[in-house]
Chains A and B, each alone.
Chain A
C-alpha cells in the first residue's frame, strides 16, 4: 500500500498520560498536514509541514501538543498530559499540490 499510513490506528489512554502518533506520508509528497475530527464535525486543521519546516499551527494546538517532521519524511504528533477533550480522530494528509491524500486516522480515547 503506497498511501498515507498512520500508527497506531487506535489508542486508549488515561487522562494525564502522554501519547505519540506517527504518520508516514506518500513518499514524494513534501507537504504534510495534521487534522483533528470530533463526532459530528468535519476535520479541523492542526498544523502543516513543508518538508521538515513546520509552517503553521492552529490555535487549536495548545502547548500540550507538539509535532515534528524530522528530515521531511514521517511526522509525529505528541500530546502531553492528555485530557478527555483530546478524544478525537487524528488525521494525517500529504500532498504535492492542492490535492491532499488522507491516512486512515488514529482514534484517541482518553478515559
Chain B
C-alpha cells in the first residue's frame, strides 16, 4: 500500500526566508504527486502537481524518484503563504481509481 510522510507537523519561518516542506512517499509503482493547500477558513485546493512542472505562487516541487521525495520549496516566503500544506499521491496503474493518499500535513507559519 502507498504511504505519504510529512515529517514536520509545524514549520515556522520569517518573511523573506526560504522555505522547504518535506514530503516522502512509499509506493513501488508510478505515482503522481500533488501538493494541496488549505488557507484559514477555506477549502482544500490544489497547489501544484508534479506532472505539470509549474511554479504556482512561487512554489516549486520536484519529484525525486531515487529518494522517493516531493519536497515543496519557495525561495522567499510571504505572510500570505501561512497555511496547512498536504502532500498527496495518486497510484497510477491499471484500474486505478485515482484516490488520493494524503500525508498528515505541515502547518506553515510565516512571521513578519
Q: What's the least CB distance linking A96 to chain B, in Å?
A: 10
Interface of A is mostly: strand
Q: Which residues of A contact B86 (CB under 8 A)?
A: 42-43
B79-112 Cβ-contact flags toward A at 8 Å (1 or 0): 0000000101010000001111111110000000
B43-51, B53-61, B66-74 - the one binding chain A: B43-51
- Given A98-B32, A98-B49, A98-B90, A45–B43 Cβ distance below 8 Å? no
Contact of B97 among A41, A48, A102 (CB under 8 A): A48
CA distance A33 to B99 in the complex (A): 8
With both chains docked as a complex, state the minimum distance between the C-beta of A76 and any C-beta of chain B, in angstroms: 19
A104 to B100, CA, bound (A): 17
B105 → A minimal CB distance (Å): 5
- Per the bound structure, the CA–CA distance linking A3 and B51 in Å amounts to 23
Task: Encode B6-42 as 1/0 by CB contact (under 8 A) with A.
Answer: 0001000000000000000000000010001000000
Beta-carbon contacts of A49-60 to B below 8 Å, as 1s and 0s? 010000110000
Minimum CB–CB distance for B30 against chain A, Å = 12
Check A102–B44 contact: CB distance below 8 A: yes
Q: If the complex has contacts A42-B86, A91-B44, A105-B43, are A100 and B104 also in contact, measured as CB distance less than 8 A?
A: no
**A98 with B102, Cβ < 8 A, contacts A42-B88, A103-B43, A104-B43 known:** no
Chain B residues whose CB sits within 8 angstroms of the CB of A35 once the complex forms? 100
Partner of A42, one of B43, B49, B102: B102
Residues of chain A having any CB pair with chain B under 8 Å: 3, 31, 33, 35, 40-45, 48, 50, 55-56, 91, 93, 95, 98-105
